Amino acid sequence: MNLRMTSTWTICLALACATLPIHAQKKQPQMVKPMAGPRATTLRDTWLYITPSTDAQKVSKVQIGREMVVAEKSGPWMRVYANTDIEEQHSDRDTPMIGSDQATPPISGWMEGKGVVEETTANGDQILMGAAANQEAAASDPRGPANAAQSARLLYRRLVEMFPNSPLAGEAAWRAADIQWQLQRADAATLPSAHEKDPAYRLQMDEDELRKVIKYYPQTRWAALAAFDLIDNKLCGDWQGTTQCPEKEADLYLKYADEYPNGPRTAQALFDVVYRLSVLTDMYNASGDDRKSGDARNRAHTVAEQMKSHFADSDYTFRAGALVYKLDQGVPVYGIDFN
C-alpha cells in the first residue's frame, strides 16, 4: 500500500504535551493534547448519540481510526469529542511530527465503548497495529471495503499519537506516510501529465510526511523506506527515447544506495540502476556511440557484481544478473528487436 498525526482540538480545556518515541533519535516538537480525558479511537464505524442510548437522536458517525478524546463514562457508554472529518489534511510543514492536521471543531456525543481503544488500554499500541494491518490487508483485496486504505492510515496515525513511546511508533509512522504516498501516486498516474518527461510538469506527491519520518527517525529502516519513496517525485514520466532520463535516474538510485547501503530497499535500488544502465547500453548502441554503450554495459556489470556480494539471496540480484547476461548475449533490454 506517507506521518503528523495530531489535529488541533478546539476545545476550551487546558492543554498538556505528549512525548517523543524513545527510539527516535531526534527530539520532536511537543504535541498538544486536551486534558478532558484520554485520547482514543475506534476500530469500527460507530454512531454518536445525544444521550447514552441507541434510541436517542444520532449526532454523527465516527469512522474507523478517527481521533477522539474521552470526556466521561457511564457504564458501557462514553461521551467523547470526536473528529468526524472525512479526510484529515495537514497544514504547514513546521507543525509537529504526526501533528500537521487541521481539523474542524470536534463533535461531542455519546457512543458505545465496544471496539474503542484508549491510550490507557493495555497493549493498545499492539491492538492498533494489528487493526491497521488488517485494514491494510483488506485494502489489497478487491472485495475489501473501499475506504480500507484510509482506515489503515488513520489507525497507524493514532498509534503514533496515542503511544509515542511504543517501539511500534516508527513503523506505524512510516506505514501511514507510505499509504498516503501510494494513494496520491495512484491518482497522479491517471492524469495526462503522468507521461511528461520532465517530473516538474507532473503532479507531485506531498513529501511532508515522508520527510518527517526521515527527520524524526534518522538512520532507521523507516527513514530508508521513506527516502526510497521520495525518489518517485524525481523520475521521468516517459523517457521518450532520450538518454537523459535513464542517466539521471541511475544516478538517483546510486545516490540512494550510497546513503542507505544496508536499507530494506537498497537491493531494489541497485537493480533499478542496472536496468537503467542496460537501457542506456541499448540506446547508445542504437545511436552508434560504441564508447558510451560499452561504458554503460561495464557499469551494469560492476553494480551487478556488487549486488552478489551484498545481497546474494535477493531476487533483485538474480534479476540484475539476468539483465547483464542479456547484454552480453546482445539481446536488447530496451524496446523491441524486430531483427
At a CB cut-off of 8 Å and minimum separation 6, what does 331 contact?
337
d(CA 283, CA 246): 10
How many structural domains compose the chain?
A: 2
Q: Which of 84, 112, 137 is the last residue of a domain?
A: 137
The pLDDT of residue 12 is 31
d(CA 223, CA 99): 18
Pairing between β-strand 15-18 and β-strand 58-62 as defined by DSSP bridges: unpaired
Confidence at 119, pLDDT banded by 50, 70, 90: very high
Q: Which of 89, 121, 137 is the last residue of a domain?
A: 137
129's enclosing H/E stretch is helix 124-139
Residue 335 placed within a domain = no
Residue 8 placed within a domain = no
Residue 193 domain boundaries? 173-328
Secondary structure (DSSP) of 92-109: -TTSPTT--EE-PPPEEE
**Single-letter residue type at 316:** Y
158's enclosing H/E stretch is helix 148-162
Q: Which of 83, 110, 137 is the last residue of a domain?
A: 137
One domain for residues 178 and 281: yes
Residue 19 has pLDDT above 90, yes or no: no
One domain for residues 106 and 212: no
d(CA 79, CA 106): 12
Could you tell me the three cell numbers for 265? 530497499
Taking only the tens place, the pLDDT of each residue in 172-200 is 999 999 999 999 999 999 998 888 888 88
The b-or-e profile of 156-190 (16+ CB within 10 A means b, else e) is bbbbbbbbbebebbbbbbbbbbbbbbbbbbeebee
C-alpha triplet 322, 324, 325: angle, nearest 5°: 60
Taking only the tens place, the pLDDT of each residue in 296-328 is 999 999 999 999 999 999 999 999 999 999 999
One domain for residues 187 and 317: yes
pTM of the model: 0.81
Nearest to 66 by CA among 151, 161, 164, 184: 151
One domain for residues 125 and 195: no
CATH code assigned at 276: 1.25.40
Q: What is the DSSP letter of 199?
A: G
Residue 202 placed within a domain = yes
**What's the start-to-end Cα distance of the chain, in Å?**
41
The pLDDT of residue 30 is 43
One domain for residues 75 and 181: no
- Least confident window among 80-84, 147-151, 287-291: 80-84
One domain for residues 78 and 177: no
Pairing between β-strand 77-82 and β-strand 68-74 as defined by DSSP bridges: antiparallel
One domain for residues 178 and 322: yes
Taking only the tens place, the pLDDT of each residue in 122-156 is 999 999 999 999 999 999 888 888 899 999 999 99
Residue 44 placed within a domain = yes
Residue 157 placed within a domain = no
d(CA 107, CA 86): 13
One domain for residues 33 and 94: yes
CATH code assigned at 43: 2.30.30.40
Looking at every residue in the chain, the average pLDDT score rounds to 85
One domain for residues 203 and 123: no
The pLDDT of residue 142 is 87
One domain for residues 28 and 109: yes
Residue showing cell 547484454? 327
One domain for residues 177 and 43: no
Q: How far is CA 32 from the centre of its chain?
A: 23
Confidence at 17, pLDDT banded by 50, 70, 90: very low
The pLDDT of residue 295 is 96
One domain for residues 177 and 301: yes
Residue 147 placed within a domain = no
Residue 19 placed within a domain = yes
Residue 151 placed within a domain = no
